[in-house]
Amino acid sequence: MNLRIQAQRATHLLSSSLAVVAQRLPFIKHFAPLLSSPSSLRLAMPLTVTFAGTDTLTGQTTIVAPLNGFDSPTETTVGEEFLWAFNTQGNHSARSFEVQGLPPGVTYSFGLPSTPSQGGVLSGSVSVPGPFEVTIVGYRDPNFGRQKTPTYTLIINTTQDENPFEAFQKTFWMGDDLANEAISGPNADPDGDDIPNLLEFTLELDPTTPQSIPGTFGADPDDETKLLWEVPYIGTGNMTFQESTSLDGDHWTDVAEGQIEVLPNSIQLRATMDASKKFFRLKATL
């Protein structure tokens, strides 16, 4: 009798201790029978227990996630304005974020325009091409305190747009001619019309066919004391006017901005005419 009572007490103690252990183990996913115990002894213990690490937000239910419209991976080009916003989702809001791996030209700022105390924004313009892997971790408290979220990884794929002048070159030349600066280079004049390729590109002319610079040149109809030179121009490349008192060498200087007006479809030069001799020319730059 005593032996039976002791065995029953031992069984009850074992059951109670397992129950206490089970209550103190959060995030229990599965239970399985305890080996081959008799049917009358219906005990169970954890077979697989998953813990959220002690440094993570409770149950890992709070995560970093991009705001609606911002995806990962995301695409951008060198020099293009870049913006990517994120926040936390779940039971808690992160009060600080650790952001690593930002590409050159992009910065991180905490807070969103609508909720300055939550989320964050990556902004700027990537200055070099390539894929970049940015990692973001949110923390429960400011200054990276208390629990943290799982790491969110943002992939930024940055490409380099083809130089517009290079695309222009490929339109008219190929092979050895394309590689020959004396033919396709910006300062070359393969058609002999005294308009270098870069200026032909800016004026949208054909660099393989002799042409004249389009536009009008003469007295300003609104002020006969001024010279008016107007050239068709829609903003391809950069163009301005230069002046000189001689056609020799490097005596050319840029005309003052106050004498130049850029219109939707043309660029105009207005210069006061006087007794001194003066020459004008167009200058194009990339």
Q: What is the pLDDT of residues 97-139, one digit of tens each?
A: 999 999 999 999 999 999 999 999 999 999 889 999 999 999 9
Query: What global pTM score does this model have?
Result: 0.49
Q: What is the pLDDT of residue 16?
A: 42
Measured distance CA(277)–CA(248) in Å, rounded: 14
- E-strand spans in the chain? 28-33, 44-49, 63-66, 74-77, 82-89, 96-100, 106-110, 120-124, 130-141, 145-148, 152-159, 216-220, 223-232, 238-244, 253-254, 260-262, 266-272, 279-285
Is residue 16 classed as helix, strand or coil in its secondary structure?
helix
Dihedrals φ, ψ of 53, to 5°? -55, 155
Q: How confident is the model at residue 17 (pLDDT cuts 50, 70, 90)?
A: very low
Helix (H) / strand (E) element for 131: namely strand 130-141
- DSSP character at residue 162: P
Q: What is the pLDDT of residues 73-94, one digit of tens each?
A: 999 998 899 999 999 998 889 9
Q: What is the pLDDT of residue 36?
A: 39
Instruction: Please name every residue paired with 108 in a beta bridge, in sequence order, or none if there are none.
Output: 122
Nearest to 193 by CA among 172, 215, 208, 183: 208
Measured distance CA(64)–CA(75) in Å, rounded: 20
Is 21 a residue whose pLDDT tops 70?
no
Q: How confident is the model at residue 164 (pLDDT cuts 50, 70, 90)?
A: confident
H helix intervals, 94-221: 164-172, 175-179, 181-184, 197-202
Cα–Cα distances in angstroms (integers) from residue 182 to residues 176, 191, 210, in the given order = 11, 11, 16
Is 264 a residue whose pLDDT tops 90?
no
Dihedrals φ, ψ of 47, to 5°? -100, -40
